[in-house]
Amino acid sequence: MHEMLGNQYFLIRNYFEAEKEFEVGLLSDPDNFKIKKKLIVCYIQTGHVDSALTLFHNIVSTDPKIITDTNPEEDNCPCPEIIYELESILNNSEVELKTLSLAMLWLYCDLEESIWYFEQYYQFNKSTHIIKSILASLNKEINK
């Protein structure tokens, strides 16, 4: 029920309401990767980038194909639109946060672009083990 309602909110790009519904849905089905994939986008759009990164790391550690096999058109994925918006306003204001958001969003569309943005983010924040782990998983995927 919550996943269906979350999907409806997601379709109309009401990320705040979709986030609430997906979070409740994930409580009853914690291994639902469809919810997790959409929740990552919601978290990025609502400014909860740390929560997005946690879910993203969980998925990529399990299998990056869960995200890379996304078909933006069939899945009604807004990532191309969001990427365009973020890249057009990429300036010194919150550049680290935007770079991290772009790194995650690009994986829905292009593995190499995602890796490039994660490498850029790593330049800002070399102390994070999560980014090292994500890069290792993505580089392993690209070398398959």
The reported pTM is: 0.92
Q: Which domains does the chain have, with CATH numbers?
A: 2-142 (1.25.40)
Whether the CB-CB separation of 139 and 115 falls below 8 Å is answered with yes
Closest CA to 104 of 49, 65, 61, 30: 49
**Could you read off the pLDDT of 88-136 as tens digits, one per residue?**
876 666 788 899 999 999 999 999 999 999 999 998 776 688 999 999 9
> Cα torsion at 96, 111, 32, 59 (round to 10°)?
-60
| φ, ψ dihedrals at 67, nearest 5° | -95, -45
Burial label for 37, CB within 10 Å (0-12, 13-18, 19+), is buried
| φ, ψ dihedrals at 89, nearest 5° | -115, 20
**Could you read off the pLDDT of 32-82 as tens digits, one per residue?**
999 999 999 999 999 999 999 999 999 999 999 999 998 877 778 898 889
